[in-house]
Amino acid sequence: MNTLLLLFSLSLSIFPFTLCVPNPSRLLLASSSSSSPVLDINGDKVKAGPNYFILPVIQGKGGGLYPSNVKQNNSTCPRDIIQETDDVQEGLPVVFTRLDAKKGVVRVSTDVNVRFFTPTICARETIWKLGAYDDKLKQYFVVTGGVEGNPGPKTVGNWFKIVKFGSGYKFVFCPSVCKFCKVICKDVGVFMKDGVRFLALSDTPFKVKFKKTF
pLDDT in tens, the chain (214 residues): 443 333 333 444 444 454 333 343 343 344 444 479 999 999 999 999 999 999 999 988 899 999 998 876 677 899 999 999 999 999 999 999 999 989 899 999 999 999 999 988 898 899 999 999 999 999 999 999 999 999 999 999 999 999 999 999 999 999 999 989 989 999 999 999 999 999 999 999 999 999 999 7
- Report pLDDT for 31: 41
SS (H, E, C) the chain: CHHHHHHHHHHHHHCCCEECCCCHHHHHHHHCCCCCECECCCCCECECCCEEEEEECCCCCCCCEEEECCCCCCCCCCCEEEECCCCCCCECCEEEEECCCCCCECECCCEEEEEECCCCCCHHHCECEECCCECCCCECEEECCCCCCCCCHHHHHHCEEEEEECCEEEEEECCCCCCCCEECCEEEEEEEECCEEEEEEECCCCCEEEEECC
CA–CA separation, 67 vs 52, rounded Å?
15
> Do 146 and 134 touch, CB atoms closer than 8 A?
no
Could you tell me if 105 and 37 are in contact, meaning their C-beta atoms sit under 8 angstroms apart? yes
Are the C-beta atoms of 201 and 173 separated by less than 8 Å? yes
Signed CA dihedral, 53, 56, 57, 61: sign only: negative
Backbone phi, psi, residue 27, to 5°: -70, -35
pLDDT for 73: 66
- The residues with which 200 forms a beta bridge, in sequence order, are 141, 189
Q: For position 61, what pLDDT does the model report? A: 86
Q: How many CB atoms lie within 10 A of CB 102?
A: 10
Nearest to 30 by CA among 213, 128, 177: 177
